[in-house]
Amino acid sequence: MLRLRFIKIILILTIIINFPSLKAEEKKNIIQSIDRIENVEFNFIQISNNIEETGVCFLKRPYYFKCKYEDKNKKEIIVNKDKLVIYHKRYQKIYNYPLSKSYFSELLNKKELIELISNGNIEKKDDLFLIKSFIEGKGEITFYFNKENYNLAGWDLINLSNNKIIFKILKIRNNPELSKRFFDIPTVN
């Protein structure tokens, strides 16, 4: 009986002592995965204000991002260097937003994303790693990474106005050929 109790105590201590190094190892694997990827294409599901939207996104680091929504307005979000626009193709309308107030600057810049991952709190949930971070002046973001290949699987945002946006990544394709011209912001009359 005493021997069994001793073995349990040793096992628990081993887990407690090794737990931080396991977390560090998982973060290291996630960071290596981020570091290997320059371009990404993926399908997505976005949920905000109980409205679900779908589409496809393209990312070319460090300054280019484009999402094409499957909606009646043919909405597109385009980031081209320091410009962020929402383009409603159907109506030929462009809405400009400051990139600095969005989360895209952290998502597109490897160095900033890796810093968020390194400083965030990691936990395991089902088949994902969750990393929670807070970005000053923007709010809280939780990144989801696949446990098997460490690819980004999505994120949840809670902005300073307490609005929540859930963004799930599906069917990811790493390092496709993407031209900078693909991310050009359209001109409208």
Residue type, 189: N
pLDDT digits (tens, 9 = 90+) for 116-160: 999 999 999 989 999 999 888 888 999 999 999 999 999 999 877
Q: What's the whole-number average pLDDT of the chain?
A: 86
Q: Which runs of consecutive H residues, i.e. helices, occur in 89-171? A: 104-108, 110-119
pLDDT at 186 over 50: yes
- Give pLDDT, residue 79: 95
pLDDT at 33 over 60: yes
Is residue 70 within 8 Å of 55, Cβ to Cβ?
A: yes
In sequence order, the 6+-apart residues with CB closer than 8 A to the CB of 165 are 46, 47, 48, 156, 157, 159
pLDDT at 2 over 80: no
pLDDT at 12 over 80: no
- Give pLDDT, residue 137: 84
- Give pLDDT, residue 17: 41
Cα distance between residue 74 and residue 94, in whole Å: 12
Helix (H) or strand (E) holding 20: helix 2-36
Residue type, 125: K
Q: How confident is the model at residue 13 (pLDDT cuts 50, 70, 90)?
A: very low
Cα distance between residue 42 and residue 175, in whole Å: 11
Structure tokens at 119: 């400083």
pLDDT at 41 over 90: yes
pLDDT digits (tens, 9 = 90+) for 64-92: 999 999 999 899 999 998 899 999 999 99
- Give pLDDT, residue 103: 85
Q: How confident is the model at residue 9 (pLDDT cuts 50, 70, 90)?
A: very low
R_g of the chain computed on alpha carbons: 20
Closest CA to 151 of 37, 59, 43, 60: 37
- Give pLDDT, residue 122: 94
pLDDT at 5 over 70: no
- Give pLDDT, residue 3: 55
Of 7 and 63, the structure prediction assigns the larger pLDDT to 63
Cα distance between residue 173 and residue 178, in whole Å: 12
